[in-house]
Amino acid sequence: KAGVTQTPRYLIKTRGQQVTLSCSPISGHRSVSWYQQTPGQGLQFLFEYFSETQRNKGNFPGRFSGRQFSNSRSEMNVSTLELGDSALYLCASSPGTSGIQETQYFGPGTRLLVL
């Protein structure tokens, strides 16, 4: 099975712009989660989608949003970029039906640099 794929792998934007990141989960997985990784804050949960519905959301401002399509692919969008949004954005997928025992499988991430 192909793993989780994320595009693009690298992105450079300037303050005030917006950005869209894409994630394709493992075939058959219906849950997609997004995490932000920074040296200062570590790995922080952004949100989780299942069957096109957001089931859970982390503590991030409304500038961070996401969606999921009927084929389980997901996108996240960050509007009005700030310097502090520079980070590695990781997407993870899982079946989404077995609760806390499920393993989340991560993609390689998209590295975003905001100048």
Partner 1 sequence: GDSVTQMEGPVTLSEEAFLTINCTYTATGYPSLFWYVQYPGEGLQLLLKATKADDKGSNKGFEATYRKETTSFHLEKGSVQVSDSAVYFCALSDRHDYKLSFGAGTTVTVRA
**Taking the complex as a whole, how short is the minimal distance between the CB of residue 73 and partner 1, in angstroms?**
17
Is 86 a binder of partner 1 (CB under 8 A)?
A: no
Nearest to 6 by CA among 104, 68, 94, 90: 90
Is 60 a binder of partner 1 (CB under 8 A)?
A: no
Rule CB under 8 A: which residues touch partner 1? Answer: 4, 6, 31, 33, 35, 42-43, 45, 48, 50, 55-56, 58, 90, 92, 94, 96, 99-109
